[in-house]
Amino acid sequence: MSKLVGTMASAIDILLPDLEAIYKDLHAHPELSMQEVRTAQIAADHAQKFGYEVTRNVGGTGVVAVLRNGDGPTVMLRADMDALPMAEATGLPYASTVTARDEDGVEVGVAHSCGHDLHVTWLMGVVRLMAEHRDAWRGTLMAVFQPGEEVGRGARSMIDDGMMTRFPKPDVILGQHVMVGMAGTVSYRSGTILSAGDSLKVRLFGRGSHGSQPQTSVDPVIMAASTTLRLQTIVSREISPRDSAVLTIGALQAGTKENIIPDDATLKLNMRTFDDDVREYMLGAIRRICCAECAASNAPREPEFTTLSSYPLTINDEATIERLGAAFKSHFGERAYEAQPAAASEDFSVFGREWGVPYAFWFVGGTDPDQFKSALAAKKLNEIPSNHSPKFAPVLSPTLRTGLEAMLCAAGEWLGKLDGDE
């Protein structure tokens, strides 16, 4: 068992009911990206209560809480706070019924369907336990509650708000994410663990007309449909089978009425890649195909491209993961194992890239063990509601404890070894 976690074992038992109440409150009151005012206040007030130097409104709603506890390394722990613009369908008694207006002014449902409420709860637990057990560690702990991960802007906005000059430079940056996987497990890997992600909006321009007179139009609906189909050939026909890539058209929007050919159509697409060269090729291919389809349709102008979000690869530092892997194995035993890369994306690595320090990111399983075992036996793991599903709902026990212990165990590798320890 991790020495630091062992020191806090009884305190963890006592704290878990309070953390469960915090989690349920956060889950029932989600907030959209860059709008996390309530969540940020809860996190900031909590850290301030336990003696941290708290800075609010970093990069918008971001919170940085620093606890100095003598000489030693500086460890940054990060949790993202934002929820998704979607209605929840879990049926939980504490399910979200919140609606809000997104950045386009559209009223949408809001739900913590990616687990960020759990991330905040874990870090709040660590904040309290580290403050209450200062005799068990030395160094500086920096707890970062980050906005806007779901739109890929939160980490960058905090960096752009002077984070690197306003706060101590970390020796290591650590983060974790709840995912589909047996609850009670922790998985990690060296090197690439999360894909790069790019989301684009492509506006295609035609010429509107009456539905009965298509010859007088340049139909953007046909243009958008042809473009959608052709874009799918980038992965299937232009990317080597040895390279992993995904391209999804998540939205195709055009027109208002069945007998009106509209002036324009909009595609919103998302791509995931595990190699920077493949990423650049696909971005170029998207532009080439969209422009070619517009030209083939005799469009009056070229398409308009807007970047909605862009996430870099998350590439774990080899030495850091080797150290963490040994610590997780020692503490969790067979419940800690090596993960496969996931085709999800994160802006977590922006902090490490900008500061030029090692970082590590790992997964915590959140699926009910019996449900996971049954799905595995039936070869139906893909049917378990995953992150971003309206039915995604991590089971709280033992997920809450596992994530708390994993973060403490990781931080303890740098902060928990006092002078004289082996």
Report the length, in residues, of the chain: 422
DSSP secondary structure, 358-374, as one string: -EEEEEEEEE-HHHHHH
pLDDT above 90: percentage of residues in the chain: 97
Query: Which residue type does 171 have?
Result: D
Domain at 3-193+313-415, CATH homologous superfamily: Zn peptidases (3.40.630.10)
Inter-residue contact 368 to 397 (CB < 8 Å): no
Tell me, yes or no, if the two domains 3-193+313-415 and 196-310 fold the same way: no
pLDDT digits (tens, 9 = 90+) for 136-150: 999 999 999 999 999
H-helix or E-strand containing 155? helix 154-160
Mean predicted confidence (pLDDT) in 201-219: 97
Q: Which residue has the tokens 């998540």?
A: 250
What is the structure's pLDDT at 103?
86
Tokens of 375: 């799905």
> Is the pLDDT at 209 greater than 70, yes or no?
yes
Q: Is the pLDDT of residue 329 over 70?
A: yes
Q: Beta-carbon neighbour count of residue 417 at 10 Å?
A: 17
Q: Can you give the pLDDT at residue 418?
A: 63
Strands 62-69, 139-146: pairing kind? antiparallel
Residues 146-178 pLDDT 10s: 999 999 999 999 999 999 999 999 999 999 999
Question: What span, in angstroms and rounded, lies between the C-alpha atoms of 266 and 290?
Answer: 11
Cα torsion 17, 19, 22, 23: sign: negative
Q: In this predicted structure, what is the pLDDT of residue 416?
A: 85
Q: 27-30, long-range: CB within 8 Å, 24+ apart, which pairs?
A: 27/92, 27/94, 27/95, 27/96, 27/112, 27/117, 28/94, 28/95, 28/96, 28/97, 28/98, 29/96, 29/98, 30/83, 30/84, 30/96, 30/98, 30/110, 30/111, 30/112, 30/117
pLDDT tens digits along 259-291: 999 999 999 999 999 999 999 999 999 999 999
- Give me 114's structure tokens: 């990616």
DSSP 201-250: EEEEE-B-EETT-GGG-B-HHHHHHHHHHHHTHIIIIIS-TTS-EEEEEE
For the chain, give the mean pLDDT: 96
Tokens of 92: 């939980």
- CATH class of the structural domain 196-310: alpha beta
For residue 89, CA distances in Å to 93, 97, 277, 392 come to: 11, 10, 39, 8
- Asked if the model's pLDDT at residue 417 lies above 90, the reply is no
Could you tell me if 368 and 395 are in contact, meaning their C-beta atoms sit under 8 angstroms apart? yes
Task: Please report which confidence band the pLDDT of residue 52 belongs to, taking 50, 70 and 90 as the band edges.
Answer: very high
Could you tell me the pLDDT band of residue 421, with boundaries at 50, 70 and 90?
A: low
pLDDT recorded at residue 104: 85
Per-residue pLDDT, 419:
53
Taking each helix axis as running N to C, give the angle between helix 396-415 and helix 9-28, from 0 to 180 degrees, rounded to the nearest 10. Answer: 120
If DSSP codes are grouped into helix, strand and coil, which group holds residue 386? coil
For tokens 């009425």, the residue is: 257
Q: What's the pLDDT band for 1 if we cut at 50, 70, 90?
A: confident
Q: At 150, give phi and psi (nearest 5°).
A: -65, -15
What token pair was written down for 311?
A: 């996430």
Please state the rounded mean pLDDT for residues 365-392: 97
**Average pLDDT, stretch 307-316?**
96
Domain extents in the chain: 3-193+313-415, 196-310
pLDDT reading at 420 higher than 80: no
What are the φ/ψ torsions at residue 118 (nearest 5 degrees)?
Answer: -70, -40
pTM score above 0.75: yes
Q: Percent helix, strand, coil in the chain (nearest 5)?
A: 40, 25, 30
